[in-house]
Structure 1
Amino acid sequence: MANDLDRFDRAILDVLAVEGRLPVADLARRIGLTKSPTQARLRRLEAAGTIRGYRAVIDPIRLGRDHVAFVEVKLADTREAALAAFNAAILAVPEIEECHLIAGAFDYLLKVRTASMSAYRAVLAEKISVLPHVHQTSTYVAMQAVKDGGVAAR
């Protein structure tokens, strides 16, 4: 679908990536179209799965979850069944905000958000280290988020 996107579609996506709750009339004005064609394009982008959904961006610091750690995970087994087991199990750990399969010296990179270092240690010991096929982990603690979730951090 990327090749099917014209400048108006790309403008819609650029605006919505920053301001997802923008009314269609305001979106139309910002991209230089009228409301009806903008709404039709928006529906098409949603139906095609280009726009996967809308969500609120929550400030984790206000929720007391300002400790961020990035965790490299090496698995003991990287055959497809082991990867699938790890992938399925990772979904049940709410403290893991992101999980990426990596081509490199380790297998996965996790972004873990907790309230404190002691809370992180508990998550590492009781949830991450016991995931299927985990062989080794290395943790890097973030000191400051400069850009988080595509948005400049406060």
Structure 2
Amino acid sequence: MATSIDATDRRILLALDEDPRMPVALLAQRLGLARGTVHARLERMKTGELLRPHSTRIRPQALGRIVAASVRAELDQHLITEAIEALKSIPEVLECFAPAGDDDLLLRVVATTPDDLYRVSEEIRLCPGIVRTSTSLFLREVIPYRVSGLLGSQSNG
């Protein structure tokens, strides 16, 4: 379900996307807002599940992007720079990796509906340099993004 955000919320979230560790006081100063306003809005966003737990990163589901998928792409290697630049212009592309193996690029994308996912997949396929794509829908998140296990498994020696 999409959460309603206004222009002020959007400005706060965009600033935090650039620097997720920005202190509330600096964020308020940079945006020309009262510190109390920024603090109250961040608290509302956290309790309203707009933000990921213990994070300043927004949850795509809170913006109505309830469909998530991975898209594998095969490239014309001569046009990799053009392909990546075109992919950056698609807002639904959240991440892009260059993996080892048969795929040239692996993307994590979001959409509002399965039909919207088709549209996003087509935008990706039509980017310069992309020869072929394959899309896999994520049915359910079973282990959310985490690094705590990595931190606990490090030895001090």
TM-score by length of 2: 0.56
Aligned length: 99
Q: CA deviation at 1:90?
A: 1.1
Rg larger in structure: 1
Q: Distance in 1 between matches of 2:68 and 2:137?
A: 6
For residues 56-95 of structure 1, what are the alpha-carbon distances to aligned partners after superposition, in whole Å with 9 as ceiling and x for unaligned? 21122222111001010011x213xx11111111110100
| Partner AA of 1:73 in structure 2 | A
2:125 aligned residue: 129
Q: Which runs of 5+ in 2 are unaligned?
A: 1-19, 25-54, 149-157
Q: Distance in 1 between matches of 2:147 and 2:67?
A: 18
Following superposition of structure 1 onto structure 2, how do residues 1-154 of structure 1 map, counting pairs within 5 Å? 20=21, 56-75=56-75, 77-79=76-78, 82-125=79-122, 127-150=123-146
2:31 aligned residue: none
CA contact under 8 A between 2:68 and 2:111: conserved in structure 1? yes
CA contact under 8 A between 2:71 and 2:121: conserved in structure 1? no
Q: CA deviation at 1:134?
A: 1.1
CA contact under 8 A between 2:121 and 2:135: conserved in structure 1? no
SS at match of 2:134: strand
Larger helix percent: 2
> RMSD of aligned C-alpha atoms?
2.5
Q: Percent identity?
A: 28
| Partner AA of 2:81 in structure 1 | A
Q: Which runs of 5+ in 1 are unaligned?
A: 1-18, 24-54
Q: CA deviation at 1:22?
A: 8.1
For residues 86-143 of structure 1, what are the alpha-carbon distances to aligned partners after superposition, in whole Å with 9 as ceiling and x for unaligned? 1111110100000111221110001010111000111112x11110111111111101
Q: CA deviation at 1:20?
A: 4.6
| Partner AA of 2:137 in structure 1 | V
SS at match of 2:84: helix
Alpha carbons of 1:115 and 1:101: their partners in 2 closer, same or farther (altered >3 Å)?
same
Alpha carbons of 1:149 and 1:22: their partners in 2 closer, same or farther (altered >3 Å)?
farther
SS at match of 1:138: strand
